[in-house]
Structure 1
Amino acid sequence: MTQTSAPPAGTDSASPPPAASLPRGRNLEGHRWIRRPNEAFTAEALQERLIGGLRSWRDYPASLRLWFWLIPTITAALGGVLRFVRLDTPRNLVFDETYYVKDAYSFLVSGYERSWPDKANDSFIAGNPGVLLDTPEYVVHPPVGKWMITAGMWLFGPDNPFGWRFSAALTGTLSIFLVALIAQKLFRSLTLGAVAGLLLAVDGHHLVMSRTALLDIFLMFWILAAFGALLLDRDDGRRRLALRLARQAADAPDHRPSVLQLVSGPWLGVRWWRVAAGVCLGLAVGTKWSALFFLAGFGLLTVFWDLNARRVAGIKGWISGGIIKDGIPAFLSIVPVVAAVYTATWTGWFLSKDAYFRHWADTNPSAEWGWLPGPLRSLAHYHLEAYKFHQGLTAEHPYEASAWSWLVMGRPTSFFYESPKQGTGGCDVASCAAAILSVGNPLIWWSAAVALVVLLFWWAGRRDWRAGAILAAVGAGYLPWFMYPQRTMFTFYALSFEPFLVLALTYCLGLALGRPSDPPWRRRSGLYVVAIFVAGAVLLSAFFYPIWTAEVIPYQEWRLRMWMPSWI
Structure 2
Amino acid sequence: RRRQRRRRRADGGGAAAARDRAARGHRASIPTFMLTGMTTPAPTDFDAVVASTSDATRESEPVGSRLDDWWLRQSLAVHRLARWGAPALVVVIAAVARLFGLGHPASLVFDETFYVKDAWTLVNLGYEGSWPAEADARFSAGETDIFTAAPGFVVHPPLGKWLIGLGMGWLGPDNPASWRVATVLAGIVAVVLLMVVAHMLFRSMLLATIAGLLFAIDGNAIVMSRVALLDNFVMLFALLGFAAILLDRGWTQKRLDLWLTRKEGSWGPAIWWRPWLVAAGVAFGAATAIKWSGLYFLAALAVYTLVVDALARRRAGIPFWLSGTILRQAPVSFLLTVPAALLTYLITWTGWFVTSGGYSRQWAAGDGNAWTGALSWVPLSLQSFWHFEVSVYNYHVGEMRPHPYQANPLTWLLMLRPTSMYYQGDATGGESISGIANPIIWWAATAAALYLVYRLLRFREWRVGLILAGLAAGYLPWLLYLNRTVFQFYTIAFEPYLILALTAVVGILLGNARDPSWRRLSGIRITIIFLAIALAVSAFYWPVWTGMRLDYFWLAAHWWLPTWR
Which TM-score applies when normalising by structure 2?
A: 0.85
**CA separation of 1:138 and 1:479: change in aligned 2, threshold 3 A:** same
Offset, 1:151: 1.1
**2:418 paired residue among 412, 415, 423:** 412
1:7: how far off? Answer: 9.6
Shift of residue 323, structure 1, vs aligned partner: 2.8
Which deviates the most, 437-446 or 181-190? 181-190
Contact 2:284 2:298 in 1 (8 A): yes
Question: What does 1:462-481 align with in structure 2 at a 5 Å threshold?
Answer: 462-481=459-478
Distance 2:35 2:332 in 1: 33
Task: Return the offset for 1:330.
Answer: 1.3
Residue in structure 1 matching 2:353, options 350, 366, 377 = 350
Question: How far off is 1:264 after superposition?
Answer: 2.9
1:6 offset after TM fit, Å? 9.3
Residue 149 of structure 2 is aligned to residue 134 of structure 1: yes
Cα distance in 2 for partners of 1:3, 1:190 equals 11
Does 513-522 or 365-374 show the bigger shift? 365-374
Deviation per CA, 1:298-341, whole angstroms, max 9, x where unpaired? 10111211222222223232223333443222111110111111
Residue 526 of structure 2 corresponds to: 529
**1:510 counterpart = 2:507:** yes
1:321 equivalent among 324, 339, 344 = 324
Question: d(CA) in 1 for partners of 2:31 and 2:224?
Answer: 32
Do structure 1's residue 4 and structure 2's residue 1 form an aligned pair?
no
CA distance in 1, matches of 2:78, 2:252: 28
Q: How far is 1:111 from its partner?
A: 1.1
Report the Cα distance in structure 2 between the residues aligned to 1:27 and 1:313, rounded to whole angstroms. Answer: 16
Question: SS of the counterpart of 1:225?
Answer: helix
Q: CA deviation at 1:77?
A: 2.4
What is the aligned partner in structure 2 of residue 490 from structure 1? 487
Distance 2:222 2:245 in 1: 26
CA drift at 1:63:
8.6
The question of 1:362 aligning with 2:359 is answered no
Counterpart in the other structure of 1:91 = 106
Counterpart residue number, 1:266: 269
Question: Structure 1 190/262 Cα, relative in aligned 2: closer, same or farther at 3 Å?
Answer: farther
Structure 2 gaps, min length 5: 1-29, 49-75
Q: Secondary structure at the match of 2:300?
A: helix
Q: Is the 8 A contact 1:7 1:515 kept in 2?
A: yes
Matched, 1:547 2:544: yes
Note the alpha carbon deviations across 1:241-300, whole angstroms, 9 max, x for none: 223333x1xxxxxxxx6xxx1523334332111111111111000000111111110101
Q: Which amino acid aligns with 1:122?
A: A
**Identity score, percent:** 42
Question: What letter matches 1:4 in structure 2?
Answer: T
User: Structure 1 CA distance, aligned partners of 2:364 and 2:81?
Assistant: 57
Q: Which residue of 1 aligns with 2:209?
A: 194
State the distance in 1 between where 2:316 and 2:77 align.
31
> How far apart are the structure 2 equivalents of 1:173 and 1:83?
8
Change (3 A) 1:412 1:352: same
* 2:40 paired residue number: 14
AA of the residue aligned to 2:32: T
Q: Is the 8 A contact 2:157 2:291 kept in 1?
A: yes
Counterpart of 2:490, as a letter, is: Y
How has the CA–CA distance of structure 1 residues 68 and 222 changed in structure 2, closer, same or farther, with 3 Å as cutoff?
farther
Structure with the bigger percentage of helix? 2
**Structure with max Cα Rg:** 2
Q: 1:64 to 1:183 in 2, by over 3 A?
A: farther
Question: What corresponds to 2:129 in structure 1?
Answer: 114
Distance 2:378 2:513 in 1: 60
Deviations 1:329-363 (A, max 9, x none): 21111101111110111000001111110010111
Letter in 1 for 2:364: A
Q: Secondary structure at the match of 1:102?
A: helix
Q: Residue 111 of structure 1 aligns to which amino acid in structure 2?
A: G
Hey, what's the Cα distance between the residues in 2 that align with 1:120 and 1:186?
48
CA gap of 1:64–1:111, structure 2 versus 1, over 3 A, is farther
Q: Please point out which of 333, 338, 341 is paired with 1:335.
A: 338
CA contact (8 A) 2:288 2:345 kept: yes
State yes or no: 1:381 paired with 2:387. Answer: yes
**Distance of 2:197 and 2:439 partners within structure 1:** 23
Q: What residue number does 2:378 align with?
A: 372
| Deviation digits for residues 425-482 of structure 1 (CA, Å, limit 9, x no counterpart) | xxxxxx2211000010000111111112110110000001111111111111111111
The two structures have a TM-score, normalised by structure 1, of: 0.85
Is 2:309–2:325's contact at 8 Å kept on the other side of the alignment? yes
How far off is 1:65 after superposition? 7.3
> Over aligned residue pairs, what C-alpha RMSD do you find?
2.2
**Structure 2 Cα separation of the partners of residues 510 and 201 of structure 1:** 19
Give the Cα separation in 2 of the matches to 1:324 and 1:337: 21
Matching residue within 553, 558, 561 for 1:561: 558
Q: Following the alignment from structure 2 to structure 1, what is the Cα–Cα distance between the partners of residues 471 and 412?
A: 12
- Whichever residue aligns with residue 184 of structure 1, its letter is H
Structure 2 residue identity aligned to 1:373: P
Give the unaligned 5+ runs of structure 1.
Answer: 17-25, 32-60, 249-256, 422-430
